[in-house]
């Protein structure tokens, strides 16, 4: 699969899911957060392709295969973590703080 096609497809599907969920939950979509999610999706796909490329390099005993794999793995894990945090923030319940004096 071509990396550019994978990036475009993932951007479309994840962006659409975030956009729809945001409209259902809040009635609007914060375009700044959506743009940040798009960057995270691009990082995820790039990290995944780096890992695949590292495996191909390891098959021909290239000395940099391990470092490419480490970079791809870190980029992929970081991207998944950021995407999970962004969706958690989207569905977080708003809690209004109460004053200490009101409860007495």
* 11 within domain boundaries: no
Host domain of residue 72: 46-85
* 23 within domain boundaries: no
* 68 within domain boundaries: yes
Both tokens of 55, joined, read 């495996």
Q: What is the pTM of this model?
A: 0.83
Domain count of the chain? 1
* 92 within domain boundaries: no
Instruction: Mean pLDDT check: name the lowest of 51-65, 74-88, 90-104.
Output: 90-104
* 78 within domain boundaries: yes
* 29 within domain boundaries: no
* 30 within domain boundaries: no
* 24 within domain boundaries: no
pLDDT (tens digit, 9 = 90+) per residue, 4-50? 999 999 999 999 999 999 999 888 989 999 999 999 999 999 999 99
Asked if 34 and 18 touch (Cβ cutoff 8 Å), the reply is yes
């Amino acid at each position: 699969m071509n990396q550019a096609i994978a990036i475009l497809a993932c951007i479309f599907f994840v962006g659409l899911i975030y956009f729809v969920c945001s409209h259902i939950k809040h009635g609007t979509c914060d375009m700044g957060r959506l743009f940040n999610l798009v960057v995270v999706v691009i990082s995820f796909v790039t990290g995944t392709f780096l890992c695949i490329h590292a495996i191909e390099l390891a098959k021909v005993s290239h000395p940099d295969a391990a470092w490419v794999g480490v970079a791809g793995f870190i980029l992929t894990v970081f991207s998944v973590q950021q995407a999970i945090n962004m969706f958690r923030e989207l569905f977080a319940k708003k809690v209004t703080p109460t004053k200490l004096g009101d409860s007495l």
